[in-house]
């Protein structure tokens, strides 16, 4: 059993500090989300009312089922908001701290860019850029390692999906160059 | 022993080199998915679903369900070695599994986890083999009112029995049902809730939503936390395995009880997580030596793992027999069935015998092969965790995008996935459960259709849901479950207080 003494250790230097100030509380987000959903429910209820939420000769109209669901959704949201304002004593946790938000944006923004690039450059080029960029700038991993990993991953994906399984992805100018 | 004959038939469907190879691939991918942080059973299955689009349904479901078994096995590895539960239902495994690893008994803990997982799912598969055909043939008599009552029962049991705040479960469910209705109305052909957007004509695809809700949001959540980890490497020798197996019969009560809890909670929707905690707590309560729990007691690994696997497996029972998934992953498999052109529900047992019994046979085989595979390859998979998360995270994002795009070849779906990713992130943080949403989204259209068909049949008379003993008792049970918090208020408070202590 000597082997079980081996330890696997992975460090994470840019980890968020635990004493980072809070950006917003759970209660605030809870209320905002409830209100947004309430507005959404109102919108859907209106649309379904327009479609027809009553009964006709064949039974319930197309808007009947969703209309009452939007009413239920709205009611549940109102209940949630009311509860947040009436039941004050319970402590509300932190939704996200500043450092955490920074880290989340570190993934979210590249993902957003990746989606944009997929539209213009095709998925495989965008995937190469995302992985390489993320590893270099966020993970602080050596450039050659990052480029190699990104290239290999994109290539493996290409071979697996486009060639082996015939699942076609959005492609851009680079793939056109190779005649795919 | 009709079921036995059919099972043999199922094995005959299964035993081709192609399917066996797919099974191995599925298991390896599944363990991978289970071990990696930020990926778990449901999103692993959802992301890999596009791989199966060009396969025949039987190969496809065998591969996907093997991914699922693999993910269940994989979750235990990180729980025990690193104290990081790969899945919510592995949380209870860390209580005793990690202390065991710290005491240098990682190999024992892993063997115990894998073996008890195997036992749990075996019990559940036996249950499916002998119970599912009966339930399915009973359900063949169901008309639209009965089906609507069963859907209602499913939704109500989520609200009534869930641990989350009730209004949040209702929000999640109503939203899922509403989004399921977007697009062309299946009964009248009218367009609903599309707001003039052409992309919404097709409706909101269930799998796209799942990939966003579970895949993308999980990455965002994982990034928030400190990613440094410290754990133990382990390899399992044959001697350890035999030693643990020799000890095992002593814990037969725990194993049996945990399997039963798992099966029961697996069939009722949303129970896998509750099952592992409950069986851990019961094992502790009935033990003569309560103090040693949480300090590395092997029984504390047996109990939650058996229950988690039993419930994970038995969640497929209602999916196969009634077309109602018992868990998030089962819901995704159900989504897969529809993609492959199969209509889930009791008719599946009549019309697609090869498919159903192939799947059931693959549960037996998949778990045996999976057990051998994990026991022999643990060091390999534990080493995956050495790969930095900043390399894994973008790869998962790319895989999610591929999965989302492949379903309908639509760029719009990639944007939708991103939107659901943000929604999932916020919902998880403020405690709106995602499982009811998933279930509602996949069942929404069928629930609505059955409601409208029953209304058309009855001329708009709501009493149709109490028109005979069968539908009446299901509908009444649904309402009882919905108001269960009020009915069993005191009992409920007791249980949630108990739950909070352990969670």
Strand partners, A59: A56
pLDDT at B204: 86
How many Cβ atoms sit within 10 Å of the Cβ of residue A54? 10
- What values do phi and psi take at A95, rounded to 5? -75, -50
Query: Which residue among A66, A118, A169 places its CB closest to the CB of B193?
Result: A66
Compute the distance between CA of residue A134 and CA of residue A132 in angstroms, rounded to an integer.
6
Contact B432 A48 (CB under 8 A): no
E-only strand ranges, A42-144? 55-56, 59-60, 94-97
3-state secondary structure B132-156: HHHHHHHHCCCCHHHHHHHHHHHHH
pLDDT at A127: 93
Mean pLDDT of B419-448: 87
Q: Which of residues 84-113 of A touch B (CB under 8 A)?
A: 95-96, 100, 103-104, 106-108, 110-112
How large a percentage of chain A has pLDDT more than 70?
86
Q: Which two tokens mark B25?
A: 């691939």
Lowest-confidence region among B266-270, B330-334, B454-458, B480-484 = B266-270
Strand partners, A96: A24
Compute the distance between CA of residue A151 and CA of residue B243 in angstroms, rounded to an integer.
46
Contact A169 B405 (CB under 8 A): yes
Residue predicted with more confidence, A39 or B336: A39
Compute the distance between CA of residue B51 and CA of residue B69 in angstroms, rounded to an integer.
17
Contact A114 B401 (CB under 8 A): yes
Average pLDDT, chain A: 82
Q: Which two tokens mark B124?
A: 């559940």
Chain segment B360-418, per-residue pLDDT in tens: 888 888 888 888 888 888 878 777 777 888 888 898 899 889 888 888 888 999 999 99
Query: Which residue among B231, B414, B460 places its CB closest to the CB of A115?
Result: B414
Contact A58 B107 (CB under 8 A): no
Q: Which of residues 110-169 of A touch B (CB under 8 A)?
A: 110-112, 114-115, 118-119, 123, 127, 130-131, 134-135, 138-141, 146, 149, 153-154, 157, 160-161, 165-169
Inter-chain CB pairs, A–B, below 8 Å: 235
For residue B475, is pLDDT > 60? yes
C-alpha of A157 from chain center = 21
For residue B19, is pLDDT > 70? yes
Confidence label for A88 from pLDDT (cuts 50, 70 and 90): low
Residue predicted with more confidence, B286 or A147: A147
The distance between the two most distant Cα atoms of chain B, rounded to a whole number of Å, is 69
Q: Which of A152-156, B103-107, B382-386 has the highest mean pLDDT?
A: A152-156
Mean pLDDT of B435-455: 85
Q: How many helices (H) and strands (E) does chain A have?
A: 6, 5
3-state secondary structure B28-91: HHHHHHHHCCCCCHHHHHHHHHHHHCCCCHHHHHHHHHHHHHHHHHHHHHHHHHHCCCCCHHHH
Contact B82 A8 (CB under 8 A): yes
Q: Which residues contact A152 (CB under 8 A, 6 or more apart)?
A: none
Contact A106 B422 (CB under 8 A): no
Chain B residues lying within 8 Å of A157, measured CB to CB: 398-399, 402
Query: Which residue among B106, B187, B224 places its CB closest to the CB of A100?
Result: B224
Contact A70 B178 (CB under 8 A): yes
Confidence label for A65 from pLDDT (cuts 50, 70 and 90): confident
Pick left, alpha or beta for residue B18 (phi over 0 → left; psi -120 to 50 → alpha; otherwise beta): alpha
The pTM of this model reads: 0.84
Which residue does chain B place closest to A66, by CA atoms? B178
Using a CB–CB cutoff of 8 Å, tell me whether A12 touches chain B.
yes
C-alpha of A143 from chain center = 27
- What values do phi and psi take at B362, rounded to 5? -70, -25
Nearest C-alpha of chain B: how many angstroms from A25?
A: 10
User: Cα dihedral sign for B479, B480, B484, B487?
Assistant: positive
Mean pLDDT of A100-129: 90
DSSP summary character for residue B198: G
Smallest CA-to-CA distance from A129 within A119, A139, A140, A118 is with: A118
pLDDT at B1: 55
pLDDT at A3: 39
Nearest C-alpha of chain A: how many angstroms from B126?
A: 34
Query: Which residue among B230, B391, B395 places its CB closest to the CB of A7?
Result: B230
User: Cα dihedral sign for B42, B47, B53, B55?
Assistant: negative
Smallest CA-to-CA distance from B435 within B159, B72, B107, B49 is with: B159
Q: What is the dihedral of CA B205, A37, B155, B202, to 10 degrees?
A: -20
Chain A residues lying within 8 Å of B406, measured CB to CB: 161, 167, 169
Mean pLDDT of B52-76: 83
C-alpha of B7 from chain center = 23
Residue predicted with more confidence, B40 or A119: A119
pLDDT at B311: 86
Confidence label for B3 from pLDDT (cuts 50, 70 and 90): confident
Compute the distance between CA of residue B245 and CA of residue B240 in angstroms, rounded to an integer.
8
Lowest-confidence region among A133-147, B357-371, B464-478 = B464-478
CA B327-B332-B338 angle, to 5 degrees, is 130
Does residue A64 contact residue A54 with C-beta atoms inside 8 Å?
A: yes
């Amino acid at each position: 059993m000597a082997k079980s003494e081996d330890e696997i250790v992975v460090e994470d230097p840019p980890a968020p500090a635990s004493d980072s100030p809070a950006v917003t509380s759970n209660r605030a987000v809870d209320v905002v989300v409830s209100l947004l959903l309430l507005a959404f429910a109102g919108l859907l209820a209106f649309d379904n009312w327009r479609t027809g939420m009553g009964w006709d000769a064949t039974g319930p109209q197309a808007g009947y089922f969703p209309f009452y669901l939007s009413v239920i959704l709205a009611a549940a949201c109102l209940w949630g908001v009311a509860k947040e304002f009436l039941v004050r004593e319970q402590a509300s946790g932190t939704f996200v701290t500043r450092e955490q938000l920074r880290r989340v944006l570190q993934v979210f923004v590249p993902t957003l860019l990746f989606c944009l690039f997929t539209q213009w450059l095709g998925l495989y080029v965008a995937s190469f850029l995302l992985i390489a960029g993320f590893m270099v700038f966020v993970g602080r991993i050596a450039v050659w390692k990052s480029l190699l990993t990104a290239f290999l991953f994109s290539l493996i994906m290409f071979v697996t999906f486009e060639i082996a399984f015939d699942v076609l992805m959005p492609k851009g100018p680079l793939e056109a160059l190779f005649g795919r | 022993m009709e079921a036995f004959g059919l099972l043999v038939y199922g094995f005959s469907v299964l035993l081709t080199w192609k399917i066996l190879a797919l099974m191995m691939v599925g298991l390896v991918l599944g363990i991978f998915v289970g071990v990696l942080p930020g990926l778990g059973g449901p999103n692993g299955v959802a992301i890999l679903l596009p791989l199966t689009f060009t396969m025949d349904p039987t190969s496809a479901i065998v591969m996907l369900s093997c991914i699922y078994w693999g993910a269940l096995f994989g979750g235990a590895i990180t729980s025990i070695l690193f104290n990081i539960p790969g899945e919510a239902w592995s949380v209870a495994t860390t209580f005793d599994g990690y202390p065991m690893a710290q005491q240098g008994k990682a190999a024992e803990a892993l063997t115990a986890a894998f073996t008890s997982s195997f036992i749990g799912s075996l019990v559940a598969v036996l249950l499916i083999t002998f119970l599912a055909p009966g339930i399915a043939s009973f359900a063949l008599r169901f008309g639209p009112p009965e089906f609507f009552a069963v859907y209602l029962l499913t939704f109500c049991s989520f609200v009534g029995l869930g641990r989350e705040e009730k209004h949040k479960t209702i929000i999640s469910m109503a939203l899922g049902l509403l989004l399921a209705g977007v697009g062309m109305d299946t009964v009248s052909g009218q367009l609903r809730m599309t707001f003039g957007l052409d992309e919404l004509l097709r409706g909101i695809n269930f799998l796209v939503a799942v990939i966003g809700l579970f895949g993308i949001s999980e990455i965002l959540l994982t990034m928030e936390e400190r990613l440094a980890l410290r754990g133990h490497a382990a390899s399992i020798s044959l001697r350890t395995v035999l030693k643990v197996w020799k000890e095992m019969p002593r814990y037969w009560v725990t194993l049996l009880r945990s399997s039963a809890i798992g099966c029961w909670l697996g069939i009722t929707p949303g129970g896998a997580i509750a099952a592992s905690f409950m069986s851990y707590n019961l094992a502790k309560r009935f033990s003569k030596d309560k103090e040693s729990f949480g300090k590395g007691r092997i029984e504390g690994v047996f109990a939650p793992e058996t229950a988690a696997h039993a419930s994970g497996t038995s969640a497929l029972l209602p999916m196969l027999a009634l077309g109602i998934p018992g868990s998030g992953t089962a819901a995704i498999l159900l989504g897969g069935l529809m993609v492959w052109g199969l209509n889930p529900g009791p008719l599946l047992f009549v019309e697609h015998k090869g498919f159903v019994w192939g799947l059931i046979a693959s549960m037996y085989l998949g778990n045996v092969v999976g057990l051998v595979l994990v026991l022999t390859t643990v060091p390999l998979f534990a080493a995956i965790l050495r790969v930095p998360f900043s390399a894994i995270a973008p790869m998962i994002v790319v895989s999610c995008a591929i999965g989302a795009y492949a379903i309908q070849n639509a760029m719009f779906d990639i944007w939708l996935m991103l939107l659901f990713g943000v929604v999932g992130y916020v919902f998880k943080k403020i405690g709106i459960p995602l499982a009811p949403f998933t279930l509602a989204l996949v069942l929404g259209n069928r629930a609505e259709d059955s409601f409208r068909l029953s209304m058309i049949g009855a001329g708009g008379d709501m009493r149709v849901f109490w028109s005979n003993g069968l539908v009446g008792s299901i509908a009444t049970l649904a309402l009882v479950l919905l108001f269960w918090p009020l009915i069993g208020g005191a009992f409920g408070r007791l249980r949630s207080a108990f739950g909070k202590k352990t969670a």
